Structure 1
Amino acid sequence: MAFDAGKFLKTPDLEGFDKLKKEELVLLAKHLKLDFRVSMRKQIIKNLVIDKLVDAEILGEEALDLKVENVDAFKIKQLELEHQLKLKELEMKETEKIKELEMKERLEMDKKEKEDEFKLKELEMKLKELEMKERLEMEKMKIEMAKEESNTKVQSKSEYFDAAKNIRLVPRFCEKTVDKYFPQFEKIAHNLNWPKPYWTTMLQSVFEGKAAEIYSALPSEKSSDYDMVKQEVLKAYELVPEAYRQKFRSYKKFDSQTYVEFAREKEDLFDKWLTSKKTDNNFDNLRQLMLLEEFKLCVHLDLKTHLDDKAVGTIHDAALVSTKVLDTQDNQARRTVDLTPFKESWIEINDKKTALKCKIKCLNRVYRSEA
Structure 2
Amino acid sequence: MEFKLEEFTLGPSIDTLKKCKKADLVVIAESFDVDVPVNINKQGLMELLIDKLTEKGLFKEPAPAVEAELGALAGTPAPLQALPTQTGMSAEELKLTLRIREVEVRNRELEVEAMHLRLKAIEMERGAAVAASPSATQSPSQSPHDSFDVSRHIALVPPFRESEVDSYFNAFERIAATLKWPKNVWSLLLQCKLVGKAQEVCTSLSIEDSLKYDVIKATVLRAYQLVPEAYRQKFRKCEKTATQTYGEFAREKGALFDKWCQACKVETFDGLRELLLMEEFKNQLPDKIVIYLNEQKVVTIADAAVLADEFTLTHVSVFSSPVRREPVSTDRRVRSPNGARRNVTASASARETRECFYCHEQGHLIGACPTLKRKGQIKQTKTPAPINLIQIQPLSDKSTKVVESKKAQIDSVFRPFISDGSCSIVGNEKSVPITILRDTGAMQSLIRGSVLPFSAQSYCGTDVLVWGVKMSVIRAPLHLVQIRSQFVSGEFQIAVRPELP
Query: Which is richer in strand?
Result: 2
TM-score range, shorter chain: 0.3 to 0.5
Q: With the length of structure 1 as denominator, give the TM-score of the two structures.
A: 0.47
Q: What TM-score comes out, normalization by structure 2 length? A: 0.35
Q: Which has the higher helix share?
A: 1
Which structure has the larger Rg over C-alpha atoms?
A: 1
